[in-house]
Amino acid sequence: MIKPMILLQAAEAPASSGGNMMIWMIVLLVVMWILMMRPQRKKEKEERKFRSELRKGDRVIFSGGIYGKVHEVAETTVDVEVSNGVIVTVEKAMIQPAPQPKADDKK
Tens of pLDDT, residues 82-107: 999 899 999 988 888 888 776 655 55
Q: Are residues 42 and 8 in the same domain?
A: yes
Q: Are residues 65 and 84 in the same domain?
A: yes
The pLDDT of residue 3 is 57
Q: Is the pTM of this model over 0.85?
A: no
Residue 73 counted as domain residue = yes
Range of the domain at 24: 2-49
Residue 68 counted as domain residue = yes
Q: What are phi and psi of 79, to 5 degrees?
A: -90, 125
- Tell me the average pLDDT across 17-27: 85
The pLDDT of residue 79 is 94
Domains of the chain: total = 2
Tens of pLDDT, residues 30-65: 998 888 888 888 988 988 898 888 899 889 998 888
57 sits in the region (left: phi over 0; alpha: psi -120 to 50; else beta) called left
Q: Are residues 45 and 59 in the same domain?
A: no
